[in-house]
Copies of this chain bind each other. A is one copy, B any other.
Amino acid sequence: MERTLIAHLPQAIGQKVKIQGFLHTLRDQKTMQFLILRDRSGMVQVAFYKKANPELAEQISRLTNESVLTITGTVVENPIVKLGGLEVQLETLTVESLAEAPLPLDPTAEVLPSLDYRLDWRFLDMRRAPVTAFFEIQTTLEMAFREYWLQHGFVEIHSPKLMGSASESGAELFEVQYFDTKAYLAQSPQFYKQMAMAAGFERVFEIGPVFRADPSFTSRHMTEFTGLDMEMSYIESHEDVMRFLENMLHYVYQRVAEKHAAAIEAHFGVQLEVPSVPFPRIPMAEAVEILKREGYTLPPEKKGDIDPGGERTLAQFVRREYNHDFFFLTDWPWTVRPFYHMRHPDRPDLTRSFDLIAKGTEIVTGAQREHRYPILREQAIEKGLSLEPIQFYLDFFRYGCPPHGGFGLGLSRLMMVMLNLPNIREAVFLFRGPNRLHP
């Protein structure tokens, strides 16, 4: 007998079905037993008249919550049942997996334990409807990104995560024992997606893990996260990259809204707004002026940069002035950007770069890259890098390389912003931080 998903039971009234799922709750009454069975698609009430089979009734009495059951029975209309006005009259029961009691974490409880404890028992925490919904939404979101990329002629790549030398800087690198030598975990696919530009691929994307040995414990940082990266050739400036990005996000939000607007409101209390394009753009110099006017004082030690508090203040300003959740912070000073960002020809102190701030959180960093070998080499020297470990990268630009740019976007940061989650640890399958490598 084929399994019927609980969500499809209204189409099976009067029929015999097989349903499978977790025992959400059991009400064991004098003459009747009511089992609420939960599968990925929903919940249903299963009813059993104890006198029909006292032995089976006794077996049901012994069932523990969260046990996995296979039940066959007949679907009947029952208007007084809250769950869809129907119930399944139990005929047979198979216990696929009996849950131990007590549960270390009860996914049906009203009051949740601490986040840290929930992460310890993440697989039980994940049985809660909002968490299940989270991953369905993320699945749609990622697929929408890929659809958009494919519609625009992009090629997918999987760049290596094991590197023979440091990618961007020596800091925040994880070191790997690699046979009798050392390797490093890639901090981003940056060098490799640029390699694809030198290879003439013109447009590439990658969704994959990114590793940062960052010891910070904020609600926005992880030591391993999923990056959405792209790079495109034959751009005129970073403006082309921003235009591509905002149109893509508009498309992605639309796809998510079409499919999940109701679930997002139900589980996260968020009315999903599809952001209008273009997004506001604020050059850094102007941002500093705005912060002054708004009465926000930037910390002196981060000269040329804007701290998270400043980003939030700017976000409030943008919300007020432009009625928008997103804005681009553009043209960052050369002093706070990596060596491979292209400088403005007429303002070498500024780069053709941008961050995308969403609801006050930075979710994207992007730029036009410097593709001219002699200038790139000079910029690396100016930043005090030793050339030998990055020569393999510098070589990409010696034999013809198109002008290009791109960005990296943090998947969990975007999901966190979209669903108004307070902590990135709730916006990832399994969180990794300086103190957490389990489960």
Contacts and interface: CB of A to CB of B under 8 A. Distances in A.
A165 B439 CA distance: 9
Interface string A85-102: 000000000001111100
Interface string A380-407: 0000000000001101111111110000
Interface string A30-73: 00000000111000000000000000000000000011101000
A97 B401 contact: yes
A157 interface: yes
Interface in A106-152: 122-124, 126-127, 131-132, 135-136, 138-139, 142-143, 146, 150
Task: Please state the number of chain copies in the assembly.
Answer: 2
A126 B200 contact: yes
A99 B402 CA distance: 11
B430 A160 contact: yes
Contacts of A122: 195, 199
A372 B143 contact: no
Given A200-B38, A411-B158, A215 B179 contact: yes
Interface residues of A, number: 97
B174 A175 contact: no
Contact of A162 (B154, B399, B437): B437
B39 A400 contact: no
Given A100-B398, A139-B156, A39 B202 contact: yes
Contacts of A373: 97
A347 interface: no
A156 to B, nearest CB: 4
A218 B26 CA distance: 56
Interface of A: 3, 20-23, 38-40, 66-68, 70, 96-100, 103-104, 122-124, 126-127, 131-132, 135-136, 138-139, 142-143, 146, 150, 153-165, 174-179, 181, 183, 185, 192, 195-196, 198-203, 208-209, 211, 213, 215, 223-224, 226, 234, 371-373, 392-393, 395-403, 411, 428-430, 432, 434, 437-439
Given A3-B234, A160-B430, 20 more contacts: A68-B403, A96-B402, A97-B402, A122-B199, A123-B196, A124-B399, A131-B199, A135-B201, A139-B155, A139-B156, A143-B146, A175-B176, A176-B177, A177-B177, A178-B223, A179-B434, A195-B439, A209-B209, A392-B439, A393-B439
12 contacts: A22-B400, A66-B399, A97-B373, A123-B198, A135-B156, A139-B150, A142-B156, A160-B429, A162-B174, A163-B437, A164-B437, A179-B213
